[in-house]
Amino acid sequence: MAAANKVSFMDAVSTVPLIAGILIFLASLISLRLGFSVAIIEILLGVIAGNYFGFAAEPWMAYLAGFGGIVLTFLAGAEVDLRLLRAKAKESLAIGGLSFLLPLLAGAAFAYFWLHWQLHASLLAGIALSANSIAVVYSVLVETGLSRTQVGKIIMASTFVTNIGTALALSIVFFKPDFFTLEFAGASVLIIFLAAKYSDCLFDSRTYKNKVAESEIKYIFVLLLALTYFANVAQSQAILPVFVLGLLMSPRIASTFDITNSIKSRLRTVAYALITPFFFIIAGLRASIPLIMSSFGAFASLFAIKEVTKLLGAYLPAKRFLPDGQAYISLLMSTGLTFGTISAVFGMQYGYIDQSQFSVLIAVELASAIIPTAIAEKWFRPKHSEDVLGRA
Quote the pTM value. Answer: 0.82
pLDDT for the residue numbered 211: 62
Q: List, run by run, the mean pLDDT of 10-residue segments along the chain (392 residues).
A: 46 75 92 83 92 87 88 83 80 89 96 95 94 74 67 80 88 84 91 88 64 79 94 85 88 55 79 88 92 95 95 85 74 84 89 94 91 81 50 44
Q: Can you tell me whether residue 53 is helix, strand or coil? A: coil
- What backbone phi and psi angles, to 5 degrees, belong to 149? -100, 170
Q: What is the 3-state secondary structure (H, E, C) of the chain?
A: CHHHHHHHHHHHHHHHHHHHHHHHHHHHHHHHHHCCCHHHHHHHHHHHHHHHCCCCCCHHHHHHHHHHHHHHHHHHHHCCCHHHHHHCHHHHHHHHHHHHHHHHHHHHHHHHHHCCCCHHHHHHHHHHHHCCCHHHHHHHHHHHCHHHEHHHHHHHHHHHHHHHHHHHHHHHHCCCCCHHHHHHHHHHHHHHHHHHHHHHHHHCCCCCCCCCCCHHHHHHHHHHHHHHHHHHHCCCCCHHHHHHHHHHHHHHHCCCCCHHHCHHHHHHHHHHHHHHHHHHHHHHHHCCHHHHHHCHHHHHHHHHHHHHHHHHHHHHHHHHHCCCCHHHHHHHCCCCCHHHHHHHHHHHHCCCCCHHHHHHHHHHHHHHHHHHHHHHHHHHCCCCHHHHCCEC
Class of domain 60-388: mainly alpha
Domain spans, the chain: 60-388
Using N-to-C axis directions, what is the helix angle for 355-375 and 134-144, rounded to 10°? Answer: 20
Chain segment 121-155, per-residue pLDDT in tens: 999 999 999 988 776 777 677 666 666 677 777 78
